[in-house]
Each structure stands twice: as structure tokens, then as C-alpha cells.
């Protein structure tokens, strides 16, 4: 692998959501998408 590094800096508003809250929302979103995919492959929710 190369040794190239890219520094990424993100600025969050002081009154915005925390990184933990954003990660939690991402995890819940991914879990819901996974459940939907399972429903589609199994012929729908029972």
C-alpha cells in the first residue's frame, strides 16, 4: 500500500448533534436497511 494520507477535518456546529449521536443514527439506519433487505429476500415481512 502507498503511504499517502489524507487529513479530513469536519466542523460541527456547537449546538448540533455530537459525533456519537451521528454514529448511533448511522448504525440504526444501516440496521433498518439490512432488515428491509432480509424481508425482500424472504418474500416480505410475516
- Containing structural domain, residue 26: 18-46
Sites in the chain below the pLDDT cut of 70: 37-46
| Predicted pLDDT at 35 | 73
Quick one: cell of 10? 469536519
| Predicted pLDDT at 40 | 60
- Tally of structural domains, the chain: 1
39 in Cβ contact with 45 (< 8 Å) = yes
Quick one: cell of 28? 440504526
Indicate whether 2 belongs to any domain.
no
Three-point CA angle 24, 27, 32, nearest 5°? 125
**pTM attached to this predicted model:** 0.50
Please name the residue that has the C-alpha cell 432488515: 35
Indicate whether 42 belongs to any domain.
yes
| Predicted pLDDT at 33 | 84
Indicate whether 34 belongs to any domain.
yes
Cα–Cα distance for residue pair 30/46, rounded to 1 Å: 21
Amino acid at each position: 500500500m502507498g503511504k499517502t494520507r489524507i487529513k479530513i477535518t469536519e466542523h460541527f456546529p456547537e449546538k448540533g448533534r455530537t459525533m456519537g449521536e451521528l454514529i448511533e443514527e448511522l448504525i440504526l439506519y444501516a440496521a433498518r436497511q439490512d432488515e428491509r433487505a432480509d424481508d425482500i429476500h424472504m418474500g416480505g415481512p410475516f
